[in-house]
Amino acid sequence: MTRKPSLPARLLIALSLVLTLLGISTWSSAAVSRFDRGFNPGERLLPFKLLPSPLELDTDVQPGMTGPDGQFSKEQIQRFRCTTSGDPSRWIDISCNVNDFGQDFAPDNEIAIAVNPDDPNHLVAGSNDYYYRFNNATGARQAIVPTGFFTSFDGGRTWVDGQIPLKSGNGGGDPVPAFDVKHGVVLMAQLENVSGHGGPFVAQGDVAVSRSTDGGLTWSEPITVMQGQGTGIGPANRATFFDKEWLTVDNNPDSPYYGRAYLTATLFVNGPLGTYTRSPIVLSYSDDGGLTWTPPVEISGQHPSCTFQTTVTRSGTECDEDQFSIPVVAPDGTVYVHFHNYQHEAAWEVPFDFDAQIMIVKSTDGGVTWSDPVPAVQLEDGLSDMPWSVIFRQTIWGHQIRWNAAGNIVVNPTDPDEITIVFADRGTPNPAATEGCFITSEGGLNIGEPPDYDPCGAKTDFDTDVFKVVSTDGGQTWSRRTLIDDGNGAPQWFPWAGYLSDGRLVAAWDEDTEPAPADSFVHVLWIEGKGKEVLGPVEFPDVSVTHWAGQYVPQDRWPEACGPAEYSDPPVANAAGKDCNVFHGDYTGLAVGPDDSINVVWTGLNELATSPQLDPYTGAEHDGYRQDAMFARRTADNPALKPKKGGRR
């Protein structure tokens, strides 16, 4: 008689199948070797810096169902609304966390926010808003991830929480809200994907925009602006896949392009068998409130520093291996687009390190023509510079959260030629890195071994700090990097900046509560000339109710360097690393209002919750800290800003 596998055994079977489909060797070498043919480092290594991990999407090979509360459809999700309230001069969890559909544990992450240029009390934010199903008999899980919205008309005291419609697919996300004053609409850009059908892959890869004509309470069916083709994250030949879109609107009445909305994204182009070939930045724009859009055009150009070419090009200096584009409009209507480029070989400390350079392109005719890219700053974020997580993505030492160095670009409202970029990286190269430390003998990615997952010794003198670079001549030349804050040695990540009306810079970011390795972080706000304050409660990413490391690797591969000392989860006496969060988004958000209110959002992990997912190691329902959408409001002159009365409804 064949015995039914125990829960841990079934988990290992499921994990082995997922990793086989991804082309990841099963546990023996903690390495990735996707292709048997000749070594091409761009094909093999760059996807692990530029693309989301299919594992973090939580779309397992088969769907799961959990009880009567876990039965729901996309249509039911899209109709659902709830409200929250609180005191923004302190902080508010703006996620409803109600038990409708059994989702009081489910995450909101990757929070972005916009403020109405004509009404400082009118706020709209967005999130990746997860809805889970589990099949505890098989260990399968499936997440539907629409784009969540949060709308407030009273300066953030009360919020309506709902979901943007999905036109197709089962995944939205990467939310970007923006106000279009000229046309009287609110726009929400998002991705639209199909995932979890036949494997841990992602197909479709569209970028779409929804419109709201009532201030952000109801939303149109998304309008597809950029259309992907095939299984872009997976084995499909010649597939295309759009990722990391960003949206902004020219709300300056004196601009010749007043009311034009600009949408950028990264276009991933696959070769044979799903190989990576290139990922240029593309742009579309709309002049009618997001109803129609121009076809996307490539804008990332070429530059002599872009010497590494995964795919041979005619010029040999195409800057087309990119990610993290962000457009911004100056008061005179000039458009700047910031992006990370991974082709500056001369700056890599070891071969194939793929440290990024941040580049800028510029348009003075409303996005019709574009300058060649200008390098603004060289980052220290290469494959050798950071430890790794169990889902094969770079992380902060002491945690497992997915990390990148990206921040954003802002223009001084008092001077259209003054531009600032904020970011967070090591600042200096990893002194312990050696040639080939992150490459296996087969030419794949080596993420090291537990408990550290640190093949290049990146934990040596580990720290990430928040920096800025500034241009005062419209992006032609850039200052050397300047330290904004060093956290007294504690790692910092995901900065987002804005300008006050008097030209002072403000920025907010996540910051560990002590030098690495730490078990908790806080979200902080820095105001130029004033200093830094903690905005909300302490966050605990290393004991997570979702996206926990132990569901992606077996017990002997838990990242024990992560998490509280002597952590246990009975009956597991030594559970170090088991519950560490591997994904809490890729960015935080900040928006400055016309009254200089500073509106800040971030992903919090400060409330314990229990999910219906059966933990195969404990035999009980899994618990931990949930991911919530957090909000706080401040002003440069009064830290406890009180919203004005009379906000428009």
For every residue of 306-342, DSSP letters joined together read: ----SS--SSS-B--BEEEEEEEE-TTS-EEEEEEE-
Q: Is 314 exposed, middle or buried (0-12, 13-18, 19+ CB in 10 A)?
A: exposed
- Which secondary structure element, helix H or strand E, spans residue 624, and what is its range? strand 621-635
Report the pLDDT value the prediction gives residue 389, as an integer from 0 to 100: 97
Listed residue (375, 400, 381) closest to 477, CA to CA: 375
For residue 515, give the amino acid letter.
Answer: P
Report the pLDDT value the prediction gives residue 170, as an integer from 0 to 100: 73
Cα–Cα distance measured from residue 517 to residue 397, given in angstroms and rounded to the nearest whole number: 6
- Which secondary structure element, helix H or strand E, spans residue 422, and what is its range? strand 419-425
The three-state DSSP-derived secondary structure of 521-565 is EEEEEEECCCEEEECCCCECCCCECCCEHHHCCCHHHCCCCCCCC
Length of the chain: 649
Contact assessment for residue 525 and residue 506, using Cβ atoms and an 8 Å cutoff: yes
Report the pLDDT value the prediction gives residue 310, as an integer from 0 to 100: 93
Helix/strand number for the chain, H first, E second: 4, 34
Contacts of 111 (CB under 8 A, 6+ apart): 125, 126, 127, 175, 585, 588, 589, 601, 602, 603, 629, 630
Matching residue, tokens 């020219």: 250
The pairing of strands 297-298 and 335-341 is unpaired
Query: Which pair of structure tokens corresponds to residue 178?
Result: 């923006």
Contact assessment for residue 302 and residue 319, using Cβ atoms and an 8 Å cutoff: yes
Q: What is residue 106's DSSP assignment?
A: -
Query: Which pair of structure tokens corresponds to residue 562?
Result: 């992560």
Query: Which pair of structure tokens corresponds to residue 432?
Result: 């312990």
Domain boundaries, the chain: 7-635
Cα–Cα distance measured from residue 383 to residue 29, given in angstroms and rounded to the nearest whole number: 17
CA distances from 14 to 21, 52, 57, 58, 580 (A): 11, 20, 15, 12, 20
Report the pLDDT value the prediction gives residue 199, as an integer from 0 to 100: 53
Contact assessment for residue 199 and residue 61, using Cβ atoms and an 8 Å cutoff: yes
CA distances from 444 to 47, 277, 310, 345, 639 (A): 11, 16, 15, 19, 50
Cα–Cα distance measured from residue 342 to residue 354, given in angstroms and rounded to the nearest whole number: 5
For residue 647, give the amino acid letter.
Answer: G
- Please state which CATH number belongs to domain 7-635: 2.120.10.10
Cα–Cα distance measured from residue 291 to residue 278, given in angstroms and rounded to the nearest whole number: 30
- Report the Cα 501 to chain-centroid distance in Å: 28
Cα–Cα distance measured from residue 433 to residue 443, given in angstroms and rounded to the nearest whole number: 17
Whether cis (ω within 30° of 0) applies to the bond prior to 175 is no
Report the pLDDT value the prediction gives residue 20, as an integer from 0 to 100: 37
Cα–Cα distance measured from residue 264 to residue 630, given in angstroms and rounded to the nearest whole number: 26
Listed residue (83, 89, 151) closest to 643, CA to CA: 89
Rounded to 10 degrees, the C-alpha dihedral 252/257/260/266 comes to: -110
Spell out, as residue ranges, where the chain has pLDDT lower than 70: 1-39, 54, 56-71, 195-201, 232-234, 313-314, 638-649
Matching residue, tokens 């008097």: 502
Report the pLDDT value the prediction gives residue 10, as an integer from 0 to 100: 42
Contact assessment for residue 490 and residue 512, using Cβ atoms and an 8 Å cutoff: yes
HSE of 14, CA atoms in CB hemisphere, 13 A: 28
